[in-house]
Amino acid sequence: MPPLPGWAASGWPLIVRRLAPGEDRARVPLGLPLPPALGKRRIGFGLPPAVLTPGPAPTLAEARAAAPPAWHPTLDALIALGARHGLVPRPFGGLLWQALTGLPYLTATSDLDLLWPLAGPLPKTFLDDLAAIAAAAPMRLDGEIVLPDGGGVQWREWHEAGDGEVLVKHRERLEMRSVPLLGSRIATRRKQAQVPSPLRGGVRGGGRAEGTAPLDPEPPQPPPSSPQGGGEAPGLSSFEALEAAGPRGEELSP
């Protein structure tokens, strides 16, 4: 197994994470989770944008070969589910890192973590179909539905919420949002995008949608021990999940 200094030399990426209090905002906050054989330590970095090259996260189909053979029928069903609904699932967690590095991240008790990025409203039968696959899967199936505004909703919570509220996690905030308004928020964003704004040539907007209630931000975490150049970051317990697009959806190679 290559030592930590050989990570970049091997061409392996880092992942964008949340900015910890006290970190330099001029640098990109990055993380590197080590495999179980190295203690699953999570290493935090803060690097200047000029030395980084962004890259897209792999799809589940691209990562399939790195998964245990016992997972393959479930992965095939999930890929087919996405194709039926026009969605492309992307892994994060152990399968992502095992696919990117070839190192052994998955164990017999590992979950399968997936992101399902949306470009529009959630297809009506999608969550029921996903729950049926999860019920027959040999592993626990976790993950989030990623809304067009970048917010993430845990798929099980959405499936069980009915017309209630769900927690929507953004990069810098949390909010409770009514399930019936999730689709209307998408429609509102589309309508606003067609209205020219005199400010910066952008779009009109502002405020939050009716029926949403912002929560307090996540509890402060201690900054990395060496945010400028690396070192272990004991407070970075929650690395950003990969998305299909946007600043949280990029791998960054030094």
What is the set of active-site residues?
Answer: 111, 113
Strands 165-169 and 174-178: antiparallel
- The letter for the amino acid at 156 is R
Task: Quickly count: other Cβ atoms within 10 Å of residue 88's Cβ.
Answer: 16
Between CA 11 and CA 101 the distance in angstroms is 9
H/E segment holding residue 76? helix 72-85
Edge-to-edge strand ranges of the sheet holding 250-253: 42-47, 28-33, 14-16, 250-253, 53-56
Phi then psi dihedrals of residue 80, to 5 deg: -65, -40
Instruction: Give me the count of residues in the chain.
Output: 254
Q: What angle do CA 220, 117, 113 make, to 5 degrees?
A: 65
- Identify whether the C-beta of residue 223 lies closer than 8 Å to the C-beta of residue 21: yes
- The letter for the amino acid at 47 is L
